[in-house]
Structure 1
Amino acid sequence: MDRQALHRMIRVDQAGEFGATRIYEGQLAVMGDRGPHSAEIRHMAAQEAEHRKKFDALLAERGVRPTALHPFWSAAGYVLGAGTALLGPEAAMACTAAVETEIDKHYSDQLEALEASGADPELAAIIEEFREEEREHRDSALANGAERAPAYPLLAGAIRLGCRIAIKVSERI
Structure 2
Amino acid sequence: MIRLPRRTTGLLRGSPISLSASVRSRTTLASSSSQLYFEQKDSAMSSPGDLTPAERTILDSAIPANWIYQGQMAVLWQDATARPVIQKMWDQEKRHLIVMNALQEQHRVRPSVMLEVAKVVGWGLGAVTALMGREAAMACTEAVETAIGEHYDDQLRDLESLNSSHPSIPVLKDLIRELRDEELEHLDTAVLHNSQRAPAHALLSAVIGAGCTVAIRICKRI
What range describes the TM-score normalised by the shorter chain of this pair? over 0.9
Structure 2 unaligned runs (5+)?
1-47
1:124 is aligned to: 173
* Over 4 Å off, 4+ runs: none
- Contact 1:111–1:124 under 8 Å retained in 2: yes
> Comparing 12-21 with 71-80, which one deviates more in the overlay?
12-21
Give secondary structure in 2 for the equivalent of 1:3: coil
Q: CA deviation at 1:55?
A: 1.1
2:24 is aligned to: none
Structure-1 separation of matches of 2:112 and 2:209: 20
Structure-2 separation of matches of 1:2 and 1:160: 32
Give secondary structure in 2 for the equivalent of 1:63: coil
2:38 is aligned to: none
Alignment partner of 1:3 out of 50, 67, 70: 50
1:22 is aligned to: 67
Q: What amino acid maps onto 1:61 in structure 2? A: Q
> Comparing 113-122 with 139-148, which one deviates more in the overlay?
113-122
Higher-Rg structure is: 2
Q: 1:96 to 1:118 in 2, by over 3 A?
A: farther
**Structure number with higher helix proportion:** 1
- Contact 1:33–1:39 under 8 Å retained in 2: no
Structure-1 separation of matches of 2:72 and 2:121: 12
Q: CA deviation at 1:98?
A: 0.3
Structure-1 separation of matches of 2:78 and 2:97: 23
Alignment partner of 1:63 out of 105, 108, 113: 108
RMSD: 1.5
- 1:135 matched to 2:184? The reply is yes
Q: What amino acid maps onto 2:159 in structure 1? A: L
Percent identity among equivalent residues?
Answer: 40
Structure 1 unaligned runs (5+)?
none
